[in-house]
Amino acid sequence: MTDGSSTPDQQAVNKIDTTVPHSARIWNYWMGGKDNYEVDRIAGDEYREVAPNIETMARASRAYLIRTVTHVAGDCGIRQFLDIGTGLPTYDNTHQVAQRVAPEARIVYVDNDPLVLRHAQALLTSTREGVTDYIDADLQEPERILEAAAKTLDFDRPIALMLMGILGHIQNYDEAVSVVRRLQDALPSGSYFVHYDSTDTDQALQEAQQGYDDTGAVPYVLRSVAQISRFYEGLELIEPGIVSCPLWRPGPSETDIETTDVHGGVARKP
């Protein structure tokens, strides 16, 4: 560029801080992705030394996403998805899973990480029949998210709201509950809430998380299963309820299931 201006992609790159580890990039590293930096790999390795189960948690969380989206799109017939806290694209992202079941599915991703913005083009691929869109916004601005999502999604028809491993980044618990309620209140009857978050049920995980938080990165709050359950109040939980993610409707080929310290569930709005 000779006029001193820059493209949105270049602006996003300029915002990336490679001196502080970032949870989305570390998660990408644990899942075998390449969209991370040395600072993320160092933090990820240090976390894993304290909590060796973390890579199992990361992969179990993605397997859970695949099963829940497949169920909601297939058995529940949902054709619209609002996925907030998208993270970096790896394999079997929400739009790929949903559109395998229903090619006409419409998916809106929401994130405010500059590296995710840089990769938005990868997320914006869609079937010819469906739509995939991306919103650059913060989870703590639910009204802004809803207004922008309404340009792609029809809020008179059921929508699957997905908050996958993101609510722990809202440190104040009451605020986290408030954000969830405001998002759920905007959904019509027959919509679904799909969610998971890491729990405080393992001492090693708590120690590893504290070590990560001490690096200056955006902290993540591990919460009890009882606290997580409040996010589902007023909704109709689908069996088996709120469970360790590997226990949520595992497939026939999934044997010798190992539970992890990440819990979630799927619920319908009456």
| pLDDT tens for each residue of 208-267 | 899 888 877 788 999 999 999 999 999 999 999 999 999 999 988 776 788 899 999 999
Is 5 within the bounds of a domain? no
Question: Per the structure block, which two tokens stand in for 215?
Answer: 């690096």
Is 107 within the bounds of a domain? yes
Is 8 within the bounds of a domain? no
Higher pLDDT, 159 or 87: 159
Q: With contact defined as beta carbons under 8 Å apart, do 262 and 165 qualify?
A: yes
Percent of the chain with pLDDT over 90: 60
- What DSSP line would sit under 58-72, residue for residue? HHHHHHHHHHHHHHH
pLDDT of residue 32: 78
**Is-above-0.85 flag for pTM?**
yes
Q: DSSP class of residue 18?
A: S
Is 47 within the bounds of a domain? yes
Rounded Cα–Cα distance for residues 26 and 38 (Å): 10
Domain, as residue range, for 227 = 14-269
Residue 174's domain is classified under what CATH number? 3.40.50.150
Is 105 within the bounds of a domain? yes
pLDDT of residue 99: 97
- Secondary structure of residue 86 in the 3-state scheme: coil
Q: Amino acid identity, residue 163?
A: L
Is 263 within the bounds of a domain? yes
Please count the structural domains in the chain.
1
Is 7 within the bounds of a domain? no
Rounded Cα–Cα distance for residues 264 and 179 (Å): 17
| pLDDT tens for each residue of 83-104 | 999 877 777 899 999 999 999 9
pLDDT of 61 strictly over 50:
yes
Is 9 within the bounds of a domain? no
Nearest to 123 by CA among 114, 132, 115, 131: 132
